[in-house]
Structures are given as structure tokens and as C-alpha cells.
Amino acid sequence: MASDALIELDHISHYYGARRKQFLAVQDVHLKICEGEFVALLGPSGCGKSTLLRIVAGLTAPSEGRVLYRGQPLRGINPHATIVFQTFALFPWLTVLENVEVVLRARHVPEKLAKPRALDLLDKVGLDGFETAYPRELSGGMRQKVGFARAMAVSPELLCLDEPFSALDVLSAEALRTELIGLWTGGGLPTKAILLVTHNIEEAVYMADRIVIMEKDPGRVIADFGVGLRRPRFRKGTAFLETVDRVYTTMAGQTQPEHVELGAAPGEGRLRLLPEVHINDIEGLMEYLVKLPGPHMDIYRLTDELKLDSDHMLLLTEAAELLGFATIAQGDMTLTPLGETFAEAGVAARKAIFALRVRRLPLIRWLLDKLREAELQQIPWSDIKAELEHEILAEEIERQMQIAVDWGRYGELLAYDDGKEMFYLEPAGAPAA
């Protein structure tokens, strides 16, 4: 078994940032990819997917843990792995063919061999006839195909794809997925294993043999399971949808006890960050759910029907749960009585419910407590920032405070003056709960 492993990440952790403000991007990841496996790495933005790819490719050395390639410790760049990025930089002054040849030449493939090899690769990705075209003449999908051909030119054993379809339009993305699957299952690739990073759940279920799910804050693996679906796969098939459901269930999480669910206030322990969601979206979701005939709604179907992307949906789910408006179980979202009440209420009642729920969230509670104790019940942004700097990354502070203000304003708990850069307590925020 061990000899089968192409790459093994052995208890990898990775920190970013300078010594005193280190940020744990990836925590204790153990991942083994064997020959013949197509693995999808799935998770919300910021959970460390790209970081792991960079570690696999040897572009980043992990802060902790070991990387083994075919059992040998990896030092420096991994010569057996190649990454295809979301947008692949082609040389605009070179033709399609030359763009592939240039990679082969860099690898010292003799000119006589380079051309037929490049032509063959372009043929494989479905670009024959476009050899003499320039990148600007190609659609996004075709440019990405040149990217694939280029990645393949170096015959990587391990092909790493970092959201390779997410910059493409829907049709080109689907065509390219099918083509890649065809190449992979047809044995037309020199590649022994593929590691696909995506935050598109359906894409992962459609393509991979195995799905590894990550969660953020800190980035870590929370699930790793095989996809037992035969190919070709049909997106509307029952087994397909069941697998998608399972992934959603894992990603949305079950409702946990409140102290775990809400996290701690700054200075008191593990801070739970607020999901970046607008009130309007929460309102919209609740209004939609309350009009449905049944009590449960499949999150996957919901995402589809509301035309949301899965990232956004996960944030919304998290917010709905945090607020106690919905519960998540077995991939279904169910409105709680509170959520129902909220959805059916008028503006003033909604604000009241919202205020009540939001003030229990540790970060907002902390902010309200501070404002209550402050002189004139106001605090400058710089003071809040200084306090939070021990807890969260600088750019995250700004975002968290924006959410807190957005939510606090709606609940009429607090306000913020942009010009004066000052937080204020609002009347509804004044009385202790």
C-alpha cells in the first residue's frame, strides 16, 4: 500500500505571516494520493486548498510536517507535479503550437521531437486546426485547453488543477470537464494521479474518485471518502444527487451545542468569525423557505433553484444556523419556528428578532459590551482594531467589523460613522440582555 502512494502529506501545518501575528492557514493535514486516483479537494474559499497545492508542488515548504513523493522526502520544487491555474498565462506573441513547444524546449526536448509531441498534445485536448492561432483568437475555454496541453507537455505524474474551470463560461467549462475525464479514463495521459481543487460541489462529484473536504478557520480536512459512481456520470441521477447531498451535509455541518456553535468572545477563547452575508440575502432565503410546501428543503436543490454558487450558499446556511433560523441535517435545511416567525414578520418585528439573536453572537456581544462601558458610548475604530489584532488577521478585522456593523445596524444595536471612524451604541443595544 505504502509503495502505491504517489504523494503523501504527513501531518502538514502551514502558517502565514510574521512571527507574532502568525496565521494558521492549514492545520495538521494528512493526505495520501495513490496512483490511479482522481482526488477532488473541496472547501470554502480560504480553507487552504491553494496552499496545499503549492505544498504538493514544492512551491511552498510547509511550516510543519513532511511531504513524501514516492516515499522520499520532497525537497524544493516537485519535478513530478504540475499545477494548472484558474487562468493560465500564455505568451500572446506565440502561436498555440509555439506556446506548447516552448515548454518542451525548456525541458531540453530536441526540436525534431518537440513539434510532433506538441501537435499530439494539442490534438488530444481537441485543438487540432488551431495550431497557428494566437491566444487572443481563442475563447477562454480554448485558452485553458492550451494550458492543459502545456501542463501535459512535461508529462507530470501528478497533475494538480487549481479551480481550472471556474473562470470559464458554463458551456466551455462543461466541455472541458468532459474532455479531461475522457483523457483520464481513456488512459491518454501520462498522468498517474490528478488532484483537482474546486469549491464547486457538483464538479467534484462529477469528476473525482475520491473527495476530500476541508473546512476553514483553521483550514483542515474534515472528511475524506470515495465516490462510488460509475462513469459516465449523470448529474440528475439518484446516486449522483445522493452523493452531492452527502457532501452538503458534511460541509454545512450538524447543529452543535451552543457554546461550540457560537464560539467565544475576543480574549475568551476560540473566536468564531461571522459569515460574510448580507441581511437582504438572509431575508430572501427565509422568505423563500417559508413559502415551500414541506418543512425540509434539500440544500443542493435550494442552491440550484436560487441560482446561488455553493460558496455563497454555505455562508448563508451558516448564518441561518447561527441566528437559529434554520437547522441543517442530512443535507436538508429546515426552518425553525423562529425562522418562520422572522420570515412572516413585518419590518419592525424582524428587526427585533434579529437584534435578539445577533446580540448573542460573541463578537457582537463583545462590541456592545465595550460600547456600553465606553465614555459617551462610542469607540474609535482604531481602538477596536488594536484589540482585535491579537485575535484575527488585519484584513479579516475590517471584514468582520463590516459584518458586525451591517448586522448591528439592521438590529438597531449599534452604528458606525465612516467620517469620524467611530462606533456608536444605538438605543436597542443599550439594555443588557
- Contacts with Mg ion by CB under 5 A lie at 50
- Nearer residue to ligand ADP within complex by CB, 84 or 323: 84
Nearest to 134 by CA among 166, 96, 161: 96
- Nearer residue to ligand ADP within complex by CB, 51 or 144: 51
Kindly tell me which residue out of 13, 27, 51, 99 binds ligand ADP, with binding defined by CB under 6 A: 51
- Nearer residue to ligand ADP within complex by CB, 248 or 416: 248
Kindly tell me which residue out of 9, 29, 31, 50 binds ligand ADP, with binding defined by CB under 6 A: 50
Indicate whether 266 belongs to the interface with ligand ADP (CB under 6 A): no
For the bound state, the minimum distance from the C-beta of residue 62 to Mg ion, rounded and expressed in Å, comes to 16
Kindly tell me which residue out of 7, 9, 12, 25 binds ligand ADP, with binding defined by CB under 6 A: 25
Instruction: Annotate each residue in 218-257 with x if it binds ligand ADP (CB under 6 A) or - if it does not, as one string.
Output: -x--------------------------------------
- Nearer residue to ligand ADP within complex by CB, 85 or 423: 85
User: Which range touches ligand ADP (CB under 6 A), out of 3-11, 16-24, 283-291, 414-422?
Assistant: 16-24
- Nearer residue to Mg ion within complex by CB, 147 or 408: 147
For the bound state, the minimum distance from the C-beta of residue 49 to Mg ion, rounded and expressed in Å, comes to 5
Question: Hey, which residues between 194 and 223 contact ligand ADP (CB under 6 A)?
Answer: 219
- Strands 81-84 and 158-162 turn out to be parallel
Q: Which of ligand ADP, Mg ion, none does 219 bind, CB closer than 5 to 8 A by kind? A: ligand ADP
For the bound state, the minimum distance from the C-beta of residue 199 to ligand ADP, rounded and expressed in Å, comes to 7
**Cβ–Cβ under 8 Å, residues 343 and 286:** yes
Indicate whether 56 belongs to the interface with ligand ADP (CB under 6 A): no
Indicate whether 15 belongs to the interface with ligand ADP (CB under 6 A): no
Q: Which of Mg ion, ligand ADP, none does 99 bind, CB closer than 5 to 8 A by kind? A: none
For the bound state, the minimum distance from the C-beta of residue 18 to ligand ADP, rounded and expressed in Å, comes to 10
- Strands 414-417 and 332-335 turn out to be unpaired
- Nearer residue to Mg ion within complex by CB, 50 or 303: 50
Return d(Cα 143, Cα 208) in angstroms, integer.
23
Return d(Cα 299, Cα 306) in angstroms, integer.
10
- Nearer residue to Mg ion within complex by CB, 160 or 326: 160
Q: Which of ligand ADP, Mg ion, none does 317 bind, CB closer than 5 to 8 A by kind? A: none
Indicate whether 22 belongs to the interface with ligand ADP (CB under 6 A): no
Q: Which of Mg ion, ligand ADP, none does 25 bind, CB closer than 5 to 8 A by kind? A: ligand ADP
Residues within the interface to ligand ADP (CB under 6 A): 16-17, 23, 25, 43, 45-51, 219
